Amino acid sequence: MSRKYFGTDGIRGKVGHYPITPDFMLKLGWAAGRVLAHGNGGKVLIGKDTRISGYMFESALEAGLAAAGVDILLLGPMPTPAVAYLTRTLHADAGIVISASHNPYGDNGIKFFSADGSKLPDEVEEAIEAELDKPMALVPSAQLGKARRVVDAGGRYIEFCKSRFPKSLDLKGVKIVVDCANGATYHVAPSVLRELGATVHVIGAEPDGLNINVDCGSTHPQRLQHEVVAQGADVGIALDGDGDRLIMVDHAGEVVDGDELLYVIASQPREPRLPGVVGTLMSNLGMEHALRRLGIDFVRAGVGDRYVLEQLRQNGWSLGGESSGHIICLCCTTTGDGIISALQVLGAMVGQGKSLGELKSGMTKYPQSLINVRLGASFDLNASAVVRQAVTAAEQELADSGRVLLRPSGTEPLVRVMVEGEDAAQVERLARELAAVVEQAVAG
């Protein structure tokens, strides 16, 4: 079945542009209530980030769920992974997150979690879409759902995060700058770190509904870099608007991305040894080589945490993630969690008495060049013999020291031409040559 609304991570778009409208959210709440909570007697959580449209969509979803006979627990601003955790521990039938993650405030979206705190499988999303095509019918008045607010939601999640830090360690003497992206972690991330003993300097924790992700957070770490150096901090933590991504900064102000953080977490001594790590098609080849030197296997999934999670389950592994900082530690929780991932890195720093810069030094990132080439509506990239020949020639030149990837965009008529290797000049040249071949093939 072709899905009309759900993408790789829920439903997302511009506020006011269908389907990110109040009337659609009303119907979506009703449809989700019928499928996820089986109508009368069920219970669904709703959390949101700090963007202004969250108030509107929270009310619409609440009304739709109540119309389906489902009770609602309102969490208020809460990180996406916190909603996953609370869905599980409060024994709800499902959890809903109103967020567009790292996007600006003019976007919004909906993510769903099942009763066990996991992302919904395709068949459940398809069932919700099937309900959306039906006329909306209310349950009898006596069976309408009720709503109440969970007043201690933040405290519950803070305690959960702290429980995932090694009990034999603390953060006393560690100075941390944390950037909350003016998003959903603003009231929980600083508390987690302080209660573990750290000295914490906070930025990006004054949300006004419009400043989420604006020049801050994991997508804009420049201010964090400056503050880490200015404050003489040991490390910086940058989260995104809904708290499921993590980028860090070492004491020298250098950005440490998701690939490097995965390496740091994976390389920690443990028994039994970590069998493998899942990355994506965009994960840096330097991480793959560094992990294999440690005897840790590595496989690539499609881009998106949904596909990383699928590969983890297929392999029976616990650690995976993306260069963007979406890291999944299944030994700790059920979904990507920026705070918990940061605690794994901080635990490694304290446990080994090393700086983040020292911990990441075993991995050398390979130079990477990415060029976007616009495609015509009817152009079939895979059918072009000229493009295939150019890719083969580039791969032969790189041999084992690099790789080539032509990846169509999922949202625009573009192909992303990516070349990666040890030699930066060679990488740039091959990327330009490949992009030119694709452009000529499209034009001719």
- Two structure tokens written together for 22: 């109040």
* Beta-bridge partner residues of 423: none
For the sheet with 71-77, list strands across it: 11-14, 107-114, 94-98, 43-48, 71-77, 147-149
SS3 40: coil
Tell me phi and psi for residue 436, to 5 degrees.
-65, -40
| Nearest residue to 274 (alpha-carbon basis) of 344, 342, 336, 350 | 344
Exposure string of 385-401, with b = 16+ CB inside 10 Å and e = fewer, is eebeebbeebeeebeee
Identify whether the C-beta of residue 162 lies closer than 8 Å to the C-beta of residue 188.
Answer: no
Identify whether the C-beta of residue 81 lies closer than 8 Å to the C-beta of residue 164.
Answer: no
Spell out the alpha helix ranges (H) of 37-146.
54-67, 80-89, 122-132
d(CA 250, CA 258): 13
SS3 9: coil
* Beta-bridge partner residues of 403: 420
| Nearest residue to 14 (alpha-carbon basis) of 112, 78, 103, 132 | 103
Spell out the alpha helix ranges (H) of 294-423.
305-315, 338-352, 356-360, 385-398
Run of H or E residues at 404: strand 402-408
Tell me phi and psi for residue 239, to 5 degrees.
-105, 165
Run of H or E residues at 366: none
Place of tokens 């900064």: 249
Tell me phi and psi for residue 143, to 5 degrees.
-105, 5
Give the residue numbers marked as catalytic. Answer: 101
